[in-house]
Amino acid sequence: MEKKNFVYTLVVTFIVGLFMGGFLTGAVTGQFFRRPVPTTISVSPKEVIIGNTDEISELTIKITPGNRGSEAIYEIRRDDPYRDDEKDLKIIEDQWCKGMDDFGNPVIKTGSDRGSKCFSQKTFTYSFPTRGFFEGNAYYAKVYDFATKSYVKSYFKVRVYETPDAGASRS
């Protein structure tokens, strides 16, 4: 009977060892606890004034892809709380993942069009037209994140410059 218990103990110890070994190896390499790291997008300034011909209004956009990459195309859309995101008025759609990244290296991406994945952090500027389709409203820049399988957004406001009345009197 003791020999039988010894064999059972050996088998159970072996199974527990396999489980713990797989658990510990995964924990050491990070594979066991790896979670998707989402893409981030940020814009600055949070309020842009357009329409003043003396100044060029620019929006700085920074995209940091998550560990599974982000789409190489970004969009700027007008935020309409009464519409679905895909029905918001699309202002700009452009490829951002090109040239050099923020660290002076060529960008890393797969493919060349919509659906291609980008893995490089990039900061770039969008110059607003002095006149055109932007009006005083809320807008957002968005990019698709392959880790969360959703769009990530960053919001900003556009304010139209109003010229002061030349004939207005001061009180």
Q: For 152-168, what is each residue's pLDDT tens digit?
A: 999 999 888 777 664 45
In whole angstroms, give the CA distance from residue 82 to residue 106: 41
Whether cis (ω within 30° of 0) applies to the bond prior to 45 is yes
> Structural domain of residue 118, as residue ranges?
40-160
CA distance 93 to 75: 4
Same domain, 125 and 49: yes
Q: What is the domain count for the chain?
A: 2
pTM listed for this prediction: 0.71
Does 170 fall in a domain?
no
The answer to whether residues 23 and 52 belong to one domain is no
Place of tokens 């060892």: 17
Residues 6+ positions from 171 with CB-CB distance below 8 Å: none
Query: What's the DSSP call for residue 86?
Result: G
- Would you give the DSSP letter of residue 65? -
Instruction: Say if strands 40-44 and 122-127 run parallel, antiparallel, or are unpaired.
Output: unpaired
Return the higher-pLDDT residue of 145 and 24.
Answer: 145
- pLDDT by residue (tens digit) across 48-99? 888 766 667 889 999 999 999 999 999 999 888 777 766 678 888 999 998 8
